[in-house]
Amino acid sequence: MKIASYNVNGIRAAINKGFIDWLKATNPDVICLQEIKAMAEQLNLDLFKDAGYEYNYWFSAQKKGYSGTAILCKNQPKNIEFGTGIESMDFEGRNLRVDYDNVSVMSMYLPSGTNDARLSHKFEYMNLIHNYLNDLQKEYPNLVVCGDYNICHEEIDIHNPKMKGVSGFLPEEREWLGDFIDSGFIDSYRYLHPEKQEFSWWSYRANARANNKGWRLDYAMVSEPLQEKIKRSVILTEAVHSDHCPILLELDI
């Protein structure tokens, strides 16, 4: 099973940059999208169906042109869960999940901490989602949580590890991500590539992508019961439809 995840920074803009052709070529069974910045009614859904994703689900933010998640599936899931039931997380469309018989896949878009108010919201979300996923694992032990976590975990995950005072690499954020992993998840990329440095996001400023001054913010977290099923986990840096690039996980199920 091939599972991709991609913060597209606006699905309409990504489509204009060749996203659909890339999707057909990459051909994942499931792709989790973040920061779609659109309502389903603003999109030509036939584009996704024609690409092989007849089952596509959209969880948009209440605020138009902002945030939101989606999941595109080749095969129909047995259940779709829009949000978490927690209003402070759901109004921005940050969590969407599909359940199959042998695995559940969530698209998650963790807030960024661009200012004090948003940083406070980010920490609130981090606490709430951690508790939510701890409970969810009891019901769905085979769980994949893909998405933009907006946090670099270790120094190897950022081009300049001296940036300790910037949201995304704050000690408290990194500690939370470590606790998240310790609660029963595996960072699939780091599990297979313990010493490899690759990034999944680059600022649009100062030619950061060309100079590879990036951050690894996107993760395919896999619950521990699926550990032996992890076959491949890669960062697809060649895709250029966004300031992020996609990640790809393959599970032997």
Distances (CA, A) of 252 to 55, 163, 178, 232: 22, 38, 26, 9
Task: For the sheet with 247-251, list strands across it.
Answer: 55-59, 69-73, 30-34, 2-7, 247-251, 230-235
Q: Is 148 a catalytic residue?
A: yes
Crossing angle of helices 116-139 and 171-182, rounded to 10°: 0
**Closest CA relative to residue 109, chosen from 52, 45, 33, 54:** 33
CA dihedral (141, 145, 151, 153) positive or negative: positive
| pLDDT-above-70 percentage for the chain | 100
The CATH number of whichever domain residue 166 belongs to comes to 3.60.10.10
The DSSP code for 74 is S
**Mean pLDDT, all residues of the chain:** 97
Give the total number of structural domains in the chain: 1
pLDDT digits (tens, 9 = 90+) for 183-222: 999 999 999 999 999 999 999 999 999 999 999 999 999 9
Mean pLDDT to the nearest integer, 9-18 = 98
pLDDT score recorded for residue 114 = 87
pLDDT score recorded for residue 79 = 98
From 99, 148, 157, 187, active-site residue: 148
pLDDT digits (tens, 9 = 90+) for 121-173: 999 999 999 999 999 999 999 999 999 999 999 999 999 999 999 999 999 99
pLDDT score recorded for residue 45 = 97
Q: In angstroms, rounded to a whole number, what is the distance separating the alpha carbons of residues 95 and 161?
A: 29
Max Cα-Cα span within the chain: 46
pTM for the model: 0.98
Pairing of strands 143-148, 104-109: parallel
pLDDT digits (tens, 9 = 90+) for 85-125: 999 999 999 999 999 999 999 999 999 998 889 999 999 99
Mean pLDDT to the nearest integer, 57-73 = 97
Name the token pair of 12: 């309409």
Range of the domain at 25: 2-251
